[in-house]
Amino acid sequence: MTRVHDMGGRFGDGPVAPAPEPVFKQEWHARALAVTLAAGALGQWNLDTSRHSRERLSPSDYARFSYFEKWISALADLLEEHGVVTRAELAAGQGDGASPLASRALKADQVAGALARGGPADRPVASGPRFAPGDGVRTRRPARNAFVPGGHTRLPAYAAGAVGRILHHHGGHVLPDANAHGLGEAPEHLYTVVFDAAELWGTAERAGDEVTCDLWESYLEPA
Q: Is 160 in the site for other proteins (CB under 8 A)?
A: no
Minimum CB separation of residue 135 from other proteins in Å reads: 18
Q: Is 180 in the site for other proteins (CB under 8 A)?
A: no
CA distance 151 to 135: 28
Treating both helix axes as pointing N-terminal to C-terminal, what angle do 67-81 and 27-40 enclose, rounded to 10 degrees? 30
CA distance 168 to 189: 11
Instruction: Figure out which of the listed residues 138, 151, 158, 186 binds other proteins, where binding follows CB under 8 A.
Output: 158
Burial class (CB in 10 A: 0-12, 13-18, 19+), 162: buried
Q: Is 118 in the site for other proteins (CB under 8 A)?
A: yes
Q: Is 198 in the site for other proteins (CB under 8 A)?
A: no
| Residue list 78-117, contact with other proteins (CB under 8 A) | 79-81, 84-85, 87, 89-91, 93-99, 101-102, 104-108, 110-112, 114-117
Q: Is 215 in the site for other proteins (CB under 8 A)?
A: yes
> 191 forms bridges with which residues in the sheet?
169, 215
> 221 forms bridges with which residues in the sheet?
138
Q: Which residues contact 133 (CB under 8 A, 6 or more apart)?
A: 166, 167, 168, 169
Q: Is 28 in the site for other proteins (CB under 8 A)?
A: yes
Stretch binding other proteins (CB under 8 A), from 127-135, 177-185, 193-201: 193-201
User: Quick one: 51 or 147, whose CB is closer to other proteins?
Assistant: 51
Instruction: Figure out which of the listed residues 43, 127, 128, 205 binds other proteins, where binding follows CB under 8 A.
Output: 205
| Residue list 29-68, contact with other proteins (CB under 8 A) | 29-35, 37-39, 42, 51, 54, 56-58, 60-61, 65-68
CA distance 72 to 78: 10
The DSSP element (H or E) to which 190 belongs, if any, is strand 188-196
